[in-house]
Amino acid sequence: MFEGFKPRDVPLALISTFLFAVSFPILKYALRYSPPLLFAAVRAALTAIFFVVFFALIGRRIRVPRGRALTASILVAFFSATYPSAAQNLGIIMLDPRSAATVSSIFQSTTPIFITVLAAVFLGEPLTRGKAFGAAVSFTGIILLSLEGKDLEALKSAATLGGLLILSTALSYSVSGIVTKKTLEFYPRLDLLAWSSFLSALMYVPLMGLVWFFGVENPSPEKVLLPPVFISLALLSFIVGGAVMIIWYRLIDSYPISRLSYFNYLLPLFAGLVSFIFMGERLSPRSLIYAALILLGVYIVQRPKGEGVVRVNSPCSITPHAQRAR
C-alpha cells in the first residue's frame, strides 16, 4: 500500500486520512448542540478566514479568478463545500444515532463510483463492465444497509432520507472533482481552494437569510459559542478544512491518484473506530457484512485495471493528470 511513497509522506497521508475520518464523529457530536445549517454556515466562514490568514502568513496575494476561472470557482465552491456540508449535516442527524457517524463515512466512501461514472459520461473515459458491476455491488450494499433486515417500508423512514442526503454529498464531491480537474489546467490549486472557500461562505448568506425568514431553524449566535460547538468548528474549519486540505493537495501533486486512492478504505475504519471508542457506536454483524459489500464494490470500481479512469480518494480530490498552473 505504501510502496513508492517517500517515508515522510506516509505519515502525512495517514494523518490526513485519519482527520478526514474523525470529522464524522466530531460533526455528529457538534450537531447535538447546534442547528445543522447554522453550523455549516459558520464552518464555511471560519474556513474562509483561515485562508485569508494563511495567504497573509506566506506573504502571497490570492490570484483573483476571472472569466472561466471564476465560473469554475463558483461551481467548486457549491459542489465541494456549500451543498455537501449542508446536506451532510442534515443527513447525519436523520440517521440512526447508534451508528450515524460510521454509516455516513461508509456512504461517503462511494465517491469514486460517482466520479468514475461522471468521467465516463462527460470526459469520455472508459466505463467497463467490471466497473459497472462494482457499482451495482456497492449500491446493493447501500440498499441492504439502509433496510438493515427490515421490509421495504423502512425505505420511507427519515433514516433513509438521511442516507440519501449523505449519498448525494458523494455525488456532489464527484462533480467537484471533475470541475476541479479541468480548472487546474489554467488556475493554481491553492488559489482555487481559497476562492472556493470564500465563495462558499458567501453562498450561505442568502441561505441563512431564508432559514431565518421561514423559521426553519433558530440561527442564534449563542449556539455556536457553546464550548462543544466552538471547539468542533475550530477543528473542522482550521484543521480539516484548511491545513489538512493544503497537505492533501500537495500529496495529490506528488503521487498518482491511483496510489492515494487506497487510503479511501481507511476512512470508514478510522471513523468507525473513533465512533466506537468515544461515542459507543456499533454496527451489527449483518450491517458489517453490508458495509463490506459497499467497500468491495468501491474496490472493484477503483482497482487498477484499464487506463485513464479518474480515481479520487476524498472530498475535493482531483486527478493528477490535470496540468497545474503555478
Distance CA 186, CA 188 (A): 7
Distance CA 317, CA 264 (A): 11
What are the tens digits of pLDDT across the range 47-100? 999 999 999 999 999 999 999 999 999 999 999 999 999 999 999 999 989 899
Average per-residue pLDDT in the chain? Answer: 85
Distance CA 310, CA 313 (A): 10
Tell me what pLDDT residue 173 has.
Answer: 86
Which has more confidence, 150 or 129?
Answer: 129
Query: What percent of the chain has pLDDT above 70?
Result: 86
Q: In the predicted model, is pLDDT for residue 320 greater than 50?
A: no
Which positions ≥6 away from 151 have C-beta within 8 Å? none
Question: Which of 20-34, 138-152, 274-288 shows the lowest mean pLDDT across its residues?
Answer: 138-152
DSSP 58-75: HT-PPPPP-THHHHHHHH
Number of domains composing the chain: 1
φ and ψ at 198, to 5 degrees?
-60, -50
Contact assessment for residue 176 and residue 61, using Cβ atoms and an 8 Å cutoff: no
The answer to whether position 300 is within a domain reads: no
The answer to whether position 176 is within a domain reads: yes
Grid coordinates representing 10 are 506516509
Tell me what pLDDT residue 152 has.
Answer: 55
What are the tens digits of pLDDT across the range 265-296? 788 999 999 999 999 998 888 889 999 999 99
pLDDT band for 149, please (50, 70, 90 cuts).
Answer: low
Q: In the predicted model, is pLDDT for residue 326 greater than 90?
A: no
The answer to whether position 224 is within a domain reads: yes
DSSP 14-59: HHHHHHHHHHHHHHHHHTTTS-HHHHHHHHHHHHHHHHHHHHHHHT
Contact assessment for residue 109 and residue 294, using Cβ atoms and an 8 Å cutoff: yes
* Residues spanned by the domain of 178: 9-111+158-292
Distance CA 204, CA 92 (A): 19
The answer to whether position 268 is within a domain reads: yes
Q: pTM of the full predicted structure?
A: 0.86
What are the tens digits of pLDDT across the range 212-235? 888 888 777 788 889 999 999 999
The answer to whether position 138 is within a domain reads: no
Tell me what pLDDT residue 109 has.
Answer: 87
The answer to whether position 311 is within a domain reads: no
The answer to whether position 306 is within a domain reads: no
The answer to whether position 264 is within a domain reads: yes
Q: In the predicted model, is pLDDT for residue 317 greater than 70?
A: no
Distance CA 323, CA 326 (A): 9
322 by DSSP, 3-state: which?
coil
Which amino acid makes up residue 67?
G
Question: Which of 49-58, 144-153, 171-180 shows the lowest mean pLDDT across its residues?
Answer: 144-153
